[in-house]
Each structure stands twice: as C-alpha cells, then as structure tokens.
Amino acid sequence: MKNDCLFCAIAAGEIPGRKAYEDDKCLAFYDIAPQAPVHFLVIPKEHIASVAGIDDTNSAVVAHIFEVISRLTKELGIESYRVVSNIGEQAGQSVPHLHFHVLSGRDMTWPPG
Ligand code: 5GP
Ligand code: ZN
C-alpha cells in the first residue's frame, strides 16, 4: 500500500466505496461521479501507478482484472460496455493508481473526447 494513495486506501477499506466485487487481488467499486448509467472501476489491490507501471513482475493481475470484468459484466447482465484506462495527465488520469473504468448503459461515441 502506498501512503497518500486514494485507491490504496479504498482497497484497504480505509475509505468506503460502493463495492461491486472483491477478491484477494482486485476490487471493483462504483465511480463516485458516474459518466454512464453503469460506471465502476476495477483496481489491483497492489499499488501500480498506471498502465505505464505494468511489467513482467506484475502483469498477471491485469489478466485477472480482465477475467473479472468479463465475468462481472455477465453477472450484471451487461452485454455492451467500454473499458477505459487513462494514463497521464493529458489523457485525463486524475488518480495515480491503475484502474479500468467499465462504462455501460448509454450510446457512446467514437473517437472519445
Ligand atoms: P481517472 O480520472 O484517473 O481516469 O479516474 C479516476 C476516477 O475515480 C474518476 O472517474 C473519479 O470520479 C473517481 N473517483 C475519484 N475519487 C473517488 C472516490 O473517493 N470514490 C470513488 N468511488 N470514485 C472516485
Ligand atoms: Zn495506490
């Protein structure tokens, strides 16, 4: 756990989040400012700053997170959705702990803004 990291604190249960799923490696919780009718985030419990911090020592958790996204969306009855990860300030990353947004329930545009 990294000190002063909001999502490490949520993963540790120190700050509450509305949980969608949890296991020993990851946590899914609903975004506090939803951008779609369904909007949750999936994070590794270990601190990784962003996609740019993934390497061969920690990439297994990313495969696990995508398995969780595939299973959880099915359990929630979601068939069409978007998975987004912002990396760095210009791309819109505001929390420097790896997270995958899962957005669903409305028409979406491409390219994203
Ligand atoms: P980013 O901007 O880094 O791609 O995504 C961070 C997301 O975290 C944003 O969508 C923001 O609404 C969400 N967020 C920020 N603080 C909190 C919080 O305390 N609780 C929850 N559930 N979501 C948060
Ligand atoms: Zn963290």
With cut-offs at 50, 70 and 90, classify the pLDDT of residue 30. Answer: very high
**Atom of ligand 1 minimally distant from the CA of 15:** 19
Of all helices (H) and strands (E), which one includes residue 25? none
Going by the DSSP 8-state scheme, the letter that residue 51 receives in this structure is G
pTM > 0.95: yes or no: yes
Mean pLDDT over 52-61 rounds to: 98
pLDDT at position 9 is 97
Which residue bears the tokens 């979406």? Answer: 108
Indicate if the pLDDT at residue 49 is higher than 90.
yes
pLDDT, mean over the chain:
97
Average pLDDT for 44-63: 98
The pLDDT of 107-111, averaged and rounded, is 97
d(CA 103, CA 48): 22
Sheet of 38-44, strands arranged across = 19-22, 26-30, 38-44, 100-104, 82-84
Residues with CB under 5 A from ligand 2 (ion): 2, 5, 7-8, 47, 97
**What confidence score (pLDDT) does residue 1 get?**
84
Tell me if the bond preceding 16 is cis, omega within 30° of 0: no
Q: What is the pLDDT of residue 90?
A: 97
Q: Amino acid identity of 18?
A: R
Residue 2: half-sphere exposure toward Cβ, Cα within 13 Å = 15
